[in-house]
Structure 1
Amino acid sequence: MDTPKSKKLDIIIPAFRGHSQSFLMVLDGISEEDALKRIEGRTNHITWMVGNFLDMRYAMGNVLGLNEEFEFKDFFFQGKALDENLNYPSLQQLKESFHQISPLVYQKLLEVSDEELDKAFPMGMNIDFFPETVLNFVGMCIGREDYLCGQIGLMRRILNYEGMKYDFDKDLKY
């Protein structure tokens, strides 16, 4: 495993890489058509969940100093609500964005210093037990990714796909 410059990221690095794997495995075999299905009009569709996952990756990258902009930001920025009147990007397009941003964010996670992680990053939460720092923002993004993979996994089963397989790709380095 790669060693981050900051020991504060010892738990984040494996989580990030694990989420990269989970993201790809949970989407395996899902059709473009099924990715746009909602359950009883009450759930987000998989495409929206995937876009929100990517919005987290781009947000992490931005807070760590990357200047990459998510091509489909207007659909998903900061958890923008699903809009059934929009023509969302395809799963294939979103997967391509995933493979573009993920190695860049991973590299930044390896390079970031404790001083950079400790910098204030105002989120407007105003919760006394939650310091608004770069590190805690990264942690929130990681938590959101985990949540979204779980949601997609549940949608997989509801749409009659097999459960996610845990066929890890040892060559995927991000």
Structure 2
Amino acid sequence: MIMSTTATVPKTAMQVILDMYDMHSKLFHNVIEGIAEKDANNRLNTKANHPSWIAGSLVQDRFELAAMLGEKHKSDNDELFQNHRSRQDGVQYPALDSYKKNWDEITPVLRNILANIKDEVLESIAPIDMGGEKYSWYEMIYFTIDREAYCIGQLALFRRLLGYEAMKYS
């Protein structure tokens, strides 16, 4: 679901998250479509993360969330991004198209996990250190999906700043 003329109102909070997940699954492809490799590592003379790092971190987040929920897949670029590793100077990051394969691999796996997760799990505390704070699995999943929207927005802005057409929603 990207946009439609009719709407089905979600019945649960997890259905809202799944709807967002599905939209992000499509928008990821759209937002990196056509960005040349010469631009993928361009930080526009700023301290900002470049498109290749942002896209790779998005892919990695899906793999890491799936792993935390019991599905032990690894992305092809795990060493570059594991444990939320920040952008490294002097490293040539992979081509944007290379991320699509991993995105398409993990997306249905993680969606299945999220679609079938039990309320008891969602309400339990996730075993993740977020600087001393404790969060439920629901909050961790929500945060991850929210971060996807944020990163897709960053990539959409980079598209325009680099002179590309706006991201398509269809």
TM bucket (normalised to shorter chain) is 0.7 to 0.9
Equivalent pair of 1:119/1:134 in contact (CA under 8 Å)? yes
2:135 to 132, 136, 155: 132
Does residue 158 of structure 2 align to residue 141 of structure 1?
no
Q: Any stretches of 5+ residues in structure 1 without a counterpart?
A: 168-174
Distance in 2 of aligned mates of 1:83 and 1:124: 23
Letter paired with 2:158 = M
Does residue 104 of structure 2 align to residue 102 of structure 1?
no
Aligned length: 160
* 1:110 CA displacement: 1.2
Equivalent pair of 2:41/2:92 in contact (CA under 8 Å)? no
Does residue 19 of structure 2 align to residue 50 of structure 1?
no
RMSD: 1.8
**Secondary structure, in 3 states, of the residue corresponding to 1:11?**
helix
Distance in 1 of aligned mates of 2:28 and 2:37: 16
Equivalent pair of 1:56/1:144 in contact (CA under 8 Å)? no
Equivalent pair of 1:8/1:114 in contact (CA under 8 Å)? no
Does residue 161 of structure 2 align to residue 158 of structure 1?
yes
1:123 corresponds to: 128
Equivalent pair of 1:117/1:134 in contact (CA under 8 Å)? yes
**Secondary structure, in 3 states, of the residue corresponding to 1:165?**
coil
TM-score, L = length of structure 2: 0.86
Aligned-pair identity in percent equals 29
Q: Any stretches of 5+ residues in structure 2 without a counterpart?
A: 2-10
Letter paired with 1:70 = S
